[in-house]
Amino acid sequence: MSAHADHAAGHHGPPIANRSSRIEATVLGMFLFIASEAMLFGAFFTAYFFVRVVNPDAPGWPLEPFHLPVFVAGVNTAILVTSSFTMHWALQSIKRGNRVGLQAGLVLTFLMGLAFLITQMLEYARIGFNPSDGAFGTIFFGLTGLHGAHVFIGLTLLAVATIRAFRGHFTPEHHHGVEIPGIYWHFVDVMWIVVYATIYLI
C-alpha cells in the first residue's frame, strides 16, 4: 500500500499549468479575442453615436457638407459578404477532401477581400473630406479604418492559408489553418455589416 500526492515535487522549471476541462484553451482564446474586439469596436461605435446624439436637430445624417458613397459602399459590402460564402465553400471543400475547391475558395476569398480594401482606399481618396474635418470625419475614418486594418490582417492570414493550400497542406481531418482564418474572416464581415448599416444606411 502506498500513498502519494501528484504534485510538482522535484519538478524543475516553471510550475505545471493547471488545466481544467471546463473550457478548451483554443476556445477560451477565441472567446477572449472576440470579447476584446467587440469592446474595441464598441468604443468607436460609442463615439459615433455620441456625435449623432449631440446633434439631435440635424435634418439628415450625415450632416452637411458630408456625403457618403452609399451605392459604392453597398457594392463593396456585397463583395465582402460574397467572400464569406467562398470562405465557407473552401472549408467545406477541404472537409470533403476536395483540394481544388479549397484552393479556388481561398483564392476567390483573398481576391474579393483585396478588392474590398482597394475600393475602400479609392473611396477614401475621393470622398471629399479627411479625418481632421470635424468629429464626423474623424469617427468615419476611425471606424472604417479600424475595420480596414482588420481586413488587412485577415488578408494576411488568408494569404498564408492559400499558399499552404497550394503546397499541399491541410487534410479533411486537419484543417485548423483554414478554419481559424475563416472564423476571423466571418467576424470581419459581421463587423462590416454593422459598420455599413450604422454609418451608411441608418
Residues that bind other proteins (CB under 8 A): 1-7, 18, 20-23, 27, 30-31, 34, 81, 84, 87-88, 91, 178-179, 182-183, 186-187, 189-190, 193-194, 197, 201-202
Task: Between 160 and 190, name the residue whose CB sits nearer to other proteins.
Answer: 190
Minimum Å gap between C-beta 85 and other proteins is 8
Report the sign of the C-alpha dihedral through residues 20, 23, 24, 29, in that order: negative
SS3 per residue for 43-75:
HHHHHHHHHHHCCCCCCCCCCCCCCCCHHHHHH
Q: Which amino acid is at 65?
A: P
Minimum Å gap between C-beta 130 and other proteins is 27
In whole angstroms, what is the distance from residue 126 CA to residue 41 CA? 25
Task: Between 43 and 201, name the residue whose CB sits nearer to other proteins.
Answer: 201
Task: Between 125 and 202, name the residue whose CB sits nearer to other proteins.
Answer: 202
Minimum Å gap between C-beta 187 and other proteins is 6
Minimum Å gap between C-beta 98 and other proteins is 16
Task: Between 153 and 201, name the residue whose CB sits nearer to other proteins.
Answer: 201
How far is C-alpha 55 from the chain's CA centre? 31
* Contact in structure between 181 and 158 (CB atoms under 8 Å): yes
Helix (H) or strand (E) holding 30: helix 25-53
